[in-house]
Structure 1
Amino acid sequence: MEAEQHSSKEGKINKDHTPVKQPNPKKPKHQRESEDANTGAAILQAVQVLTRKMDEQMELLKSFDRRIEANTTTAKEKREEICVLKGKIGGLQKENSLLKEACAEQTRYKRRWNLRMIGLTEKDGEDTREVVIGILTKVVPLSVERLRGTVDTVHRLGRKGDPATSQNTPRAIIIQFGMRMVRDDVWKKSKDARVCKDMHIRFKEDFSKEDREARAKLWPLVQEARKKGKRAFLKEGYALIDNRRVDPN
């Protein structure tokens, strides 16, 4: 039996087998300590670099915060300044509107002494003032001497040969009176004066450009209101419809 057991063990032994080394052989202690020290140093260096970068980022964020705070303060100050300026602008706009209205009213007041004559044939070398005074003697019962002392200046508007007169349309004439009563009398009686019909001329009130444009816009409204039986009139720069003021805008 011993011989059989011995022979069976020998049969199981592989005599050609060569032992293989372990894949991770154990390193010596001093080598492990050296590698651990190197790893620790590398980790410490990486931590220091990361810390430095974080510090830089924090400083950059603080700089942004300071800039944002400064911008916020400046924006607040600018908003306050803008509010003050808006108030000043509003006051200036109101003052400007009042001044414009005052100037317009002053211009209207001055023009109330004027009349425009439309349709008088234009002649070379004419004495416009004397021609107009001769016509006025047939409109109102005043002598030539009285009218010469009352009529201030007389002149045609624009230059001869302008596009406005290219169709041989005579230029309008501005008559400036020294007395408002005489001007109003001429304006009233010219509407039925025979001389105006015979010479195909007519008198008009002297309005500013702005007032003429306003009247052109408002005239259709006045006509429509009159068709409806309402009291409607054109004034200087506005209309009155049933005692209610209507502006062109």
Structure 2
Amino acid sequence: MANPRQANVSDHDYDLPALENSFEEEGTVFDGLDSRMDEIQTALKRFDDLEKKLEGIENRMDGIGKATKENTENIVKLKERVEHLTLENKELREKCLESERYKRRWDLRLMGVPEKDNENTREVVLGILTRVVPMSVEKLRDTVDTIHRLGKRGAVNNNMPRAIIIQFAMRTVRDEVWRKSKEARVCKEMKIYFREDFSKEDRAARAKLWPMVEQARRSGKRAFLKEGYALIDGGKVVP
């Protein structure tokens, strides 16, 4: 029986072109794998870089968080300090204002006395005071401390004489002058009048409160102006 193998064909004969094509295809596959590996390595490196950046951001965020906490604590402390200083300043202002009020209770202002060149203001006022209260000039000299006009002459162009401030050494004499000046003949004859010496703050408060006092009086209520406040039917009203 004849051998089915073809003649001249060896068991070790190979299809070389096919093998070459196969190697070429495998090489192409390996090249593709190498390229993919390079891409993976590049991606991994990017991930590592991103991770480091994220760690840096987290560290900075932690630092910012700590700084924010410290700043918040400092702001709270500063706010408490400011509130304390504000309250302290308010109390000091009230004490200074009350001290000024106490000092001014010994004073009276005399309004409307004509000014003359080289006038002796003290003697002019003492002469007026002797007609307001039954007291000699000599005694008044001992009970009145200082007398002078307020401001500079001609500072206000209204032809009105400057007010005169009278500082008494005795409160009882001051109060008697204040009471009797309202009906004193000399005030009517000379068209002059006395005023209490209020601070700037109290004058502003009285200007705001006076309309309320007038309205209360028209309504039949008992209303009075005081130093920086008003009393209406026994209740204290502040501006």
TM-score w.r.t. structure 1 length? Answer: 0.86
Matches for 1:119-138 after TM superposition, within 5 Å: 119-138=112-131
**Cα distance in 2 between the residues matched to 1:76 and 1:88:** 18
Q: 165, 168, 171: which is aligned to 2:159?
A: 168
Query: Match for residue 216 of structure 2?
Result: 225
| Cα RMSD, aligned residues only | 1.4
Range moving further from structure 2, 208-217 or 62-71: 62-71
What is the aligned partner in structure 2 of residue 203 from structure 1?
A: 194
1:31 corresponds to 2:33: no
For residues 70 and 158 of structure 2, the distance between their equivalents in structure 1, rounded to whole angstroms, comes to 64
Deviation at 1:31, TM superposition (A): 1.2
Residue 159 (1) aligns with residue 152 (2):
yes
Give the superposition deviation at 1:33: 2.2
Distance 2:166 2:143 in 1: 11
Q: Per the alignment, in what secondary structure is the counterpart of residue 165 of structure 2?
A: strand
How far the C-alpha of 1:102 sits from its partner, in A, is: 0.5
Q: Gaps (5+ residues) in structure 2?
A: 1-17
SS at match of 1:185: helix
Determine whether 1:194 maps to 2:208: no
Decide which of 203, 206, 230 is 1:215's aligned counterpart: 206
Distance 2:134 2:216 in 1: 37
Letter in 2 for 1:193: A
Q: Provide the C-alpha distance between the structure 2 equivalents of 1:156 and 1:104, rounded to a whole number of angstroms.
A: 23
Q: Give the 3-state SS of the residue equivalent to 1:245 in structure 2.
A: strand
Matched, 1:150 2:155: no
Q: Distance in 1 between matches of 2:232 and 2:59?
A: 65
Summarize deviations over 1:51-97 as a string: whole Å, max 9, x none. Answer: 11111111111111111122112212222222222222222211111
Gaps of 5+ in 1: 1-24
In 2: Cα distance, 1:113 partner to 1:87 partner: 40
Map of 1:99-118 to 2, 5 A cutoff? 99-118=92-111
Structure 1 segments, 4+ long, off by >6 Å, are none
Give SS of 1:92's match. Answer: helix
Could you tell me which amino acid in structure 2 is paired with residue 201 of structure 1?
A: I
Deviations 1:126-171 (A, max 9, x none): 0000000000000000000001111111111111111x2x121101
Structure 1 counterpart of 2:112, which letter? G
Pair 1:93 & 2:86 matched:
yes
Larger Rg: 1
Distance 2:231 2:78 in 1: 38
